[in-house]
Structure 1
Amino acid sequence: MDIRIVLDVKPVLGEGPLWDVGQQRLYFIDSLGKRVFRCAADGGELRAWTVPSAIGSLALTRDGEGAVVALADGIHILDFASGEIVAVIDPEPGLESNRLNDGKVDRGGRFVFGSMNLPETESSGRLYSLDPAWRLRVLDEGIVCSNGPCWAPDDQTFFFADSWAGEIWAYDYDIQTGDATNRRRFAALPSAEMGAHDGSTVDSEGFVWNAFVYEGKIARFAPDGTIDRIIEMPVRKTTSVMFGGADLDVLYVTSMAEPPLPRYPGDPAARGSLFAVTGLGVTGIPEPRFGGVASDAHTARLVQPRTISR
């Protein structure tokens, strides 16, 4: 196994690595620095876009020419050619203590993302699903900090974490309807001193990879929730993970340069770097794009959930 720095652009809060198989490019964000980055597998051909507010996550549009971005004040569309940002819908108007956070696309083309409480002290966050028809549904609520959405290879299980719950949850998932029900504990931190669950991805064998933020560890969880292996990273504030590269065998890891919670100690000079971990003997799964058409975004509307099953 080898760990190396791919890019060192010092994001305030590096997050959300997303490898697009069609473009053979890696996207990631600076949540608090309000930037979207794109680069080749080796970190070359770097591009960056600025967004108007804090960004929690992004999903490429179906044509790959733009992205649906979860900003502090709602869902927007970013056009890569012009840099233009167009607002679509704000699911939490007037709730200034919240912002939108981590999200990914399911294999039905839905963008599933959550919100978080900015002081990370209140359970004011929700989990949302934006379908290709631009209908926005609430899937769950009572969340402090939404993180780590991802799906098992068979699409029947959805994984998600509230970072401060100390555990990753599993839901029964219906890929046809987008319903997430029967929430239960999938895995937990080995101890309270192991930081908090942050971003996740699932490999081709159905194992869940999760970043332990503030502790500098990446864990691989078996389908039964037990820890299969742990990787020690060069920095403590690791934030998210994603498999990429031509063979989907490179694990990209983002980190933060300036933690929003100052009670945590600083990191060495490599803080904020984008890392590549190779030689793991594991491959990832191609990430889908959002299924909606940007020109139809004006039809977006909020639909309350049919059921929230705990």
Structure 2
Amino acid sequence: MRIRSVVDVKTSLGESPVWDVEQQRLYWVDSMDGRVFRAAADGTGLETWDVRRKIGSLALTANGDGAVVALDDGLYRFDFAADRVELLAAPEKDVPSNRLNDGKADSRGRFVVGSMDTLEASPSGRLYRLDPDGSLHVLDDGITCSNGPCWSPDESTFYFADTWTGDIWAYDYDIATGNATNRRVFATVDTADGGACDGMTVDADGFLWQAHVYGGKIHRYAPDGTLDRTLDMPVRKVTSVMFGGVDLDVLFVTSMARPPLPRFPEDGPQRGALFAVDGLGVHGLPAHRFGA
């Protein structure tokens, strides 16, 4: 196994890595600085867009060179060529202390995204599903910091975490309707080292990979919820994970250079870099597009 820094752009809060199998490019964001990045697997050909608002996550769109982006005040369609955003939905315009955070698309082209309290103290957040027809649906509520949405390989199970509860949840997911029901605890994250659950992804064998933010680790959980493997990373503030590369066998890991709140720890010189982990012996699943 080898861990290397492939792009050192010192993201204040790197998040939402998305590997596009069509373009063979990785997208990721800087949540606090409002930037979107795109680069090849080795970090070359770096491109940057400024969306001019805090951004939690993105999913590429099925048609054209665009993405659905979760900005602090709503869900937007972003046109890369025109460098322009168009509002799709503003679900929490009456909750100014919240912002939208982590999200991903399912195979039917729906975007599932959660919100969070910006102080990470109040359970004022919700979990939403944006359908390709533009309709917005609430899947869950009472959430403090939404993170890590992802699905089992057959999409019958949806995984999600409220970071500071210490639990990763599993829901029954109906791929025909997009409904998530029967929430239960899938795994309990060990927070004794000060770390917590952040971004997650699932590999082709159904194992869940979780960024242990502030703890400097990547955890892999078996489909039954038992801890299967731990990777020690060169920085403490790892934020999210996604498989990419030609064979979907490289684990890309985002990180943060500046903690969003003063109670969180500082880090080493590689803070904010995008990392790639090779030689894990596993393969990931391709990311889906919104509106497919």
Partner in structure 2 of residue 53 of structure 1: 53
Partner in structure 2 of residue 200 of structure 1: 200
Q: What residue identity is the alignment partner of 1:226? A: T
Any conservation in 2 of the 1:194–1:212 contact (CA below 8 Å)?
no
Q: Distance in 2 between matches of 1:262 and 1:187?
A: 28
Any conservation in 2 of the 1:25–1:39 contact (CA below 8 Å)?
yes
Q: What residue identity is the alignment partner of 1:8? A: D
Number of aligned positions between the proteins: 292
Q: What residue identity is the alignment partner of 2:188? A: A
Q: Distance in 1 between matches of 2:225 and 2:218?
A: 15
Partner in structure 2 of residue 18 of structure 1: 18
The Cα shift of 1:89 comes to: 1.4
Any conservation in 1 of the 2:166–2:190 contact (CA below 8 Å)?
no
Partner deviation per Cα, 1:78-108 (whole Å, 9 max, x = no partner): 1111101111210011211000000000111
The Cα shift of 1:213 comes to: 0.4
Q: What residue identity is the alignment partner of 1:131? A: D
Partner in structure 2 of residue 273 of structure 1: 273
Q: Distance in 2 between matches of 1:238 and 1:171?
A: 25
Partner deviation per Cα, 1:4-25 (whole Å, 9 max, x = no partner): 0010001110001000111111
Partner deviation per Cα, 1:158-179 (whole Å, 9 max, x = no partner): 0000001101000000000000
Partner in structure 2 of residue 90 of structure 1: 90
User: Is 2:235 the counterpart of 1:235?
Assistant: yes
Partner in structure 1 of residue 116 of structure 2: 116
Secondary structure in 1 matching 2:119: coil
The Cα shift of 1:191 comes to: 4.1
Q: Distance in 2 between matches of 1:184 and 1:151?
A: 15
Secondary structure in 1 matching 2:164: helix
Secondary structure in 1 matching 2:139: strand
Any conservation in 1 of the 2:88–2:134 contact (CA below 8 Å)?
no
Q: Distance in 2 between matches of 1:16 and 1:193?
A: 24
Q: What residue identity is the alignment partner of 2:121? A: T
Query: Normalising to structure 2: TM-score of the pair?
Result: 0.98
User: Counterparts of 1:160-199 in structure 2 under 5 Å?
Assistant: 160-199=160-199
Partner deviation per Cα, 1:19-39 (whole Å, 9 max, x = no partner): 011111100000001000000
Q: Distance in 1 between matches of 2:265 and 2:132?
A: 42
Any conservation in 2 of the 1:110–1:291 contact (CA below 8 Å)?
yes
The Cα shift of 1:263 comes to: 1.5
Q: What residue identity is the alignment partner of 1:144? A: T
User: Counterparts of 1:287-298 in structure 2 under 5 Å?
Assistant: 287-291=287-291
Secondary structure in 2 matching 1:164: helix
Q: What residue identity is the alignment partner of 1:34? A: G
Percentage identity across paired residues of the two chains: 64
CA RMSD across the alignment: 0.9
Partner deviation per Cα, 1:204-245 (whole Å, 9 max, x = no partner): 000000000000000000000001100000000000000000
Q: What residue identity is the alignment partner of 2:234? A: P
The Cα shift of 1:64 comes to: 4.4
Query: Normalising to structure 1: TM-score of the pair?
Result: 0.93
After TM superposition, the runs of 4+ consecutive aligned structure 1 residues lying more than 4 A away are none
Q: Distance in 2 between matches of 1:151 and 1:125?
A: 21
Partner in structure 2 of residue 75 of structure 1: 75
Partner in structure 2 of residue 142 of structure 1: 142
Any conservation in 2 of the 1:209–1:241 contact (CA below 8 Å)?
yes
Partner in structure 2 of residue 213 of structure 1: 213
Q: Distance in 1 between matches of 2:59 and 2:4?
A: 26
Q: Distance in 2 between matches of 1:246 and 1:85?
A: 30
Partner in structure 1 of residue 62 of structure 2: 62
Secondary structure in 1 matching 2:96: coil
The Cα shift of 1:132 comes to: 1.1
Q: What residue identity is the alignment partner of 2:271? A: R
Secondary structure in 2 matching 1:171: strand
Q: What residue identity is the alignment partner of 2:250? A: V
User: Is 2:43 the counterpart of 1:8?
Assistant: no
Gaps of 5+ in 1: 293-310
